[in-house]
Structure 1
């Protein structure tokens, strides 16, 4: 530009600016076109067909014992019961004495109970949880106690030395055997459907009167649980006046319920950790 004649500089300068603007515009348009092409190529490469079936990955699920316990607890919590837990290693007092079991009761025998070297034992039922709860809580009480229990049983198709129980307890003023029957019937029908139910007179040290409950399952009467009105001596042991309060209790083995509900023929299948079996549930 410095070598141009002064009269030509404005014209040449204007032309130079026009060319510069055109080149800049062309570069911007080309840059934008290349960016769009790159984006489209990336979208095509990363495209996901949402109509394609997903890749299956095996999922874990609840063991049939745990699912049975959860189902039972859902029913009882819906009836107003509170879930309580307690230690699996118990003293003789909580496992036997406080439950009105005399010193000569067969359940105290070495052949039936796992005694420990320190004088304690492995609980034979979850009724001990009920005693502990009654010591800590004033009536009215509605509690359900699930847990693992231990008995010196020979292991076979229907027995195990370690199994699971669920026990329920209600203590309040004016509770009667009719209240017990209504609660048991509601629980059984929620689990098994609208089946015939019968109560048979029985005996348990911590309830009086006591009964066993059967359901008509697949054409046969099947025993499913034991129950009864809390013995006054049990109420006295926890400082509860039996003249004012009454209560009822019921207990049953979870394995029995799981076997019936799922059509199992051998309780040992529940502990074998055989995935071919467990994946059915």
Structure 2
């Protein structure tokens, strides 16, 4: 007989997972990290789009980091947004494909045909940009809620010479960006400073969590790829983030180097499919897992730790 966990048991498990995350980051071995950025910004909707885009590029240049951006057409808008993405290629970064419509393949109302058409539509717009490569990143890191959808998209990508633009380290920078926008609107400089520390802690913590999970799963620390977004908090704090990772023993590498890592060619065997490639592989192996980062409740605990709301 299968014993179903009670609500209190599930809550206890989540609490233990949350508590364990607050003990994680210790320097154990040389660790390598590449940065990647999703979505892009739309100048027609965000008056700070040009500034956000350039500040991120400037900070990458400051630290001599070569990255990759995965634009989604619905996120960048028309010509002006495309030109901002072109600036990434001109600065020596790779440009990938994040689809036209940013659909979630794990949603039952999204068909395989609709989803593949969205990839093709984005390719038609992006393929004239400098340093554009057929590297595809699934929106929301969701790779299919059925075997048929999962495998059909994998096969289409393979047939059309697409590499997979996976991530090993998932993170909730979107959550912290909302807080950044809130405190900026309130002109609360004290909270913004505390938020910077909370955000850096969050990213270091996520990186350490996934690195330790990788060691358990692969018996080694791989070349990691961190998922970030082209947004205001990264425009403000990216240089501080990079410095903090260096201080914790991480070495910066290019995304091109990282994608030579074999784990980024592996296809998920899970249903639903997706998430961090490390998390997905650990799930396939039947390891006890807390949760994917993007679905986690623990960000609220981190805010409390830094006296934020």
Which has more helix, going by share of residues? Answer: 2
* Normalised TM-score (structure 1): 0.27
Q: Which has the larger radius of gyration?
A: 1
Which has more strand, going by share of residues? Answer: 1
* Normalised TM-score (structure 2): 0.25
